[in-house]
Structure 1
């Protein structure tokens, strides 16, 4: 097996696990289910990950990695204005969360169970890093006298809570916006630009110095 084939099989298992954990929950998914969905030999799960829980851990770390990279790049960027950075954060998270609804449903499941303290601690640690980086972007805008002094933690909670509500209450929004709830493409096409625009207006009104 070539290095590329090994990488492909590993990714197949991660993607299959994501689908199944979202559909059936972690406890409702067996390693055999994952291997069958990925069309990979059952032994490969132990070979690549060691266990189902380690596979979940890798899935979480991999899906969150891009967020940390983007936020770190924005923080180090010296050409973008604070407004451009915060609007880029909004655009990124709307796309990431709405496009990655399966993954975020898994995160919510794990947070609502006492099944694994290790997994909850991992998710919390990664989220804290993300929040810290976003807070630094907001603080930088304040220090440059571009943003007014606000509560950064609750500002981020307002932003993330608004985005998450469009997933958790999708059926309600479909009724309000007269969208066919079975048409995922239409929901995303209409919700994402509307949500981005709303959050940008909300954050601008919240951060603008009066």
Structure 2
């Protein structure tokens, strides 16, 4: 019984993720989510207490920032490895789950009532990235005029470095694979930080599996 409940809750979250990415939160109804999930209409209220809480559960399931930060801090990475590993995982995640990436973009650009929830999660990551760059500056590994400025530029390179349709008119070749994108973004970031060495990575994956249970 418990296993079946988890399957239903998982289906609801996947359905919500798919529809909200396509239509936006406001335009997505609970009825549509339940139809997509093949779940009884009452179950959204029963399990989550309404659509707003479905959204919050969606973020917790697919963007588990607390777990990610705990893993990173436990590794006690040096500045270069921290910047490189965090960049790699964000680029990989962005490519692996375009629906969540679309939802993040929607909520951050539209300044909705849910933007604060998104901001809280994002700031955990960017504060840690800032710590890595600040420590790299203290160790003379990185050189920059303003830590605030490089925080903005690095975040922009990682978040908006994808090969979206808006860039297609000026692109002459097919988008590279994800690992090539990681390499390109890091080359750009490390060059901008004035680092002359090779990228360094933690040997293990940082970002946990972002699927909240198996698909049904």
Into which bin does the TM-score normalised by the smaller protein fall? 0.7 to 0.9
- For 1:90 and 1:54, the matched residues in 2 are separated by 30
1:14 alignment counterpart: 13
Structure 1 gaps of 5+ residues are 180-186
Q: How many residues align?
A: 196
Specify which of 42, 45, 69 is matched with residue 67 of structure 2.
69
- For 1:106 and 1:82, the matched residues in 2 are separated by 30
Point out the structure with the larger helix share: 1
Q: How does 1:116-195 map to 2 (within 5 A)?
A: 116=113, 119-149=114-144, 151-167=146-162, 169-173=164-168, 176-179=171-174, 187=175, 190-195=176-181
| Pairing 1:203–2:189 present | yes
Under a length normalisation based on structure 1, what TM-score does the superposition of the two structures give?
0.80
Report if aligned partners of 2:69, 2:124 keep a CA contact under 8 Å in 1. Answer: no
TM-superposed deviation, 1:18: 0.4
- For 2:191 and 2:161, the matched residues in 1 are separated by 21
Under a length normalisation based on structure 2, what TM-score does the superposition of the two structures give?
0.78
2:90 alignment counterpart: 93
- For 1:173 and 1:192, the matched residues in 2 are separated by 17
Report if aligned partners of 1:45, 1:52 keep a CA contact under 8 Å in 2. Answer: yes
2:47 alignment counterpart: 48
Structure 2 gaps of 5+ residues are 197-216
- For 1:150 and 1:93, the matched residues in 2 are separated by 25
Higher relative contact order (CA 8 A, sep 6+): 2
Name the CA shift for 1:60/1:135 in 2 (closer, same or farther; >3 Å): same
CA RMSD of aligned residues (A): 2.5
TM-superposed deviation, 1:84: 2.0
- For 2:86 and 2:3, the matched residues in 1 are separated by 33
